[in-house]
Structure formats: C-alpha cells, structure tokens
Amino acid sequence: MSARMIDGKELARKMREALRAKVETMKEAGNLPGLAVIIVGEDPASRVYVRNKEKASIDAGIHSEVISFPADATEAEVLAKIHELNRDEDIHGILVQLPLPKHFDARRVLDEIAEEKDVDGFHPGNVGALFLGQPKLQPCTPHGVMKMLEAENVPIRGKNAVIVGASNIVGKPMAIMLLHKGATVTICNSKTPDLGHHTRDADILVVAVGRAGIVTGDMVKEGAVVIDVGMNRLENGKLAGDVDYEGASQKASLITPVPGGVGPMTIAMLLENTVEAAERKAGVEKTV
C-alpha cells in the first residue's frame, strides 16, 4: 500500500480561518481573547515555537503577549509574572514554553497557572478532567491528533492504538483520548523491548519519543494510520520526525509528514483553547 498524506498544515489553516471569524465577533462584543506566552532562556527551537505561536495568534486576531526571561531568571520572578497574568482581565490563556532551564521545578511553575487559563491543559485540574472523560482545556498536541483522525474519518472504536512515548505532554493524554473513543490502547516507551512487536499490531500508531527514525517501515502494519509527533533537528539542519516516512509510507494507509503534520495542528488547538477560555469567562460573567 502507498499511503496518503494527512495535510495538517491545510487542516490547521481551515481551523484558524474559522477561529478568526469567531474572534472578530467576540472582539465586537468586548470579549477579545488574549494569550500570554512565557519563555525562559535562549533555546533556539523554543524561540522558533514561541514565534510561530505568536504569529498564529496575531493572525487569528487574538491579543498576544510574549514575556521573555533570561536563562538565569529565578523561579520566583517567573512565578510573580504568572500571578500577575492570572489576575490580568485581558489575558485568557497562559502558556509557559517547555523545557524550562534546569534550575526550575517545571511542575511547580505549571501548577501556579490558573486552571481556567491553562491553555496547555497541563494543570492537575485539567489533567483530572480529561482522565475522568469530562475534558475542559485539553493538551494541544494530542487534541490536534484527535482532530486529524476525526477529519479523516479514521475509525477508532474497537481498533488497536499503539503510542510510542509516555510523556505528560503527548503520550499519556493521547492514550486517554483514544481510550475514551473506544480504542484498545498500548503505551510503549523508549525502553520497551522489541518495540516492533507492539507497533506491528497498531491500526493507529502515534509516535512521540523525539528520536529520528525510531519507527521504520517494517514496524508498521499494512493499512495502519501513522501519526508522527517527532520533531528532530538532524546534523544537516533538516527537520525529521520519529518515523522513517518513506519506509512507513509503503505500508500505511494514512501518514502525517514532518514538518506540516502535527505541528501546525498543535498551534491551531492552542488558539482554540484560548478562544474557549475567553468564551467560558464571558459566559461565567454573564451568568453571575
């Protein structure tokens, strides 16, 4: 089989266009959504991600603030900023770009973001709501993957879903989302012996470990849907996913490219969460 590519870039563009119209209406009603992104340090990849998030939110008409701290900033300084943004009426979404420098306790920082402004969906309240099947703000990358599967009418109920990577950002929430849609879910990690034994069983294979080429064509089941969340910078400067695209394309029915697959969807979902947070706040104010 030769796979058809899932065009995440195009799907994300359509979602952003729909959001732009919604934001315009909200603005006229005096509820302009606002997003604040905090970045600490000079990690070049993080800088690019943050710039892309800022560009996309401006493009959607969302009020956007980027707060930049030097790498030697203290946790207390960043926490003070988060507390200020928690109180800021013009800001509905707060995101702290990860990874944080080593001297930070990332969990402590993320927990301080007000739950209703946690557009990354990393706060224990949002994680718990997702776990219980009553999601509020959901983590952007796995949520974006679900939107892609939905847009492509990929059947999930009764299917085998295998996730490679068990991070809090992608792997674990991805597993819960697929489980709630009726998939039989297996979560592997970088230490799983004979990874191919598991991946060859997958009708839906999501790979999110951050290791270029960890999944090769021989590890993919004929007709599988392959979602590549990896984003690796190769020595030649090129971007590559975790999946050997050429090899896996020979077996899969649908496959996401890198770049242009999951990445743009993550950003679209961030904007959607920001709009949702602003709508919820406006709704709450209307009813109290």
Nearest CA to 136 out of 37, 18, 276, 275 is that of 276
Q: Of residues 81, 117, 120, 242, which has the active-site annotation? A: 120
Nearest CA to 273 out of 156, 137, 101, 143 is that of 137
Question: Residues 249 to 268: which contact ligand GUN by CB under 6 A?
Answer: 266
Please identify, using beta-carbon distances, which residue of 140 and 254 lies nearer to ligand GUN.
140
Neighbour-count burial of 12, counting CB atoms closer than 10 A to its CB (0-12 exposed, 13-18 middle, 19+ buried)? buried
3-state SS class at 249: helix
Mutual orientation of helices 8-28 and 44-59 as an angle, nearest 10°?
50
97 is an active site residue: yes
Please identify, using beta-carbon distances, which residue of 35 and 254 lies nearer to ligand GUN.
35
Residue 120 contacts ligand GUN per CB under 6 A:
yes
Residue 248 contacts ligand GUN per CB under 6 A:
no
d(CA 210, CA 240): 10
Residue 141 contacts ligand GUN per CB under 6 A:
yes
In angstroms, give the least distance from the CB of 120 to ligand GUN. 5
> How many chain residues interact with ligand GUN (CB under 6 A)?
9
Question: Residues 58 to 87: which contact ligand GUN by CB under 6 A?
Answer: none
Comparing every residue's Cβ against ligand GUN, the nearest one is 98
Give the interface segment with ligand GUN, choosing from 93-101, 196-204, 236-244, 276-284 (CB under 6 A): 93-101
In angstroms, give the least distance from the CB of 42 to ligand GUN. 15
List residues bridging with 164 in a β-sheet. 188, 207
Cα angle 184, 264, 21 (rounded to 5 degrees) comes to 110
Residue 169 contacts ligand GUN per CB under 6 A:
yes
Q: Of residues 81, 97, 242, 244, which has the active-site annotation? A: 97
Q: What DSSP string runs through 108-141?
A: HHHHTS-GGGBTT--SHHHHHHHHTT--SS--HH
When binding is defined by CB under 6 A, the residue of 98, 163, 224, 267 that contacts ligand GUN is 98
Q: Which residues are the active-site residues?
A: 53, 97, 120
- Give me the residues that bind ligand GUN (CB under 6 A), please: 95-98, 120, 140-141, 169, 266
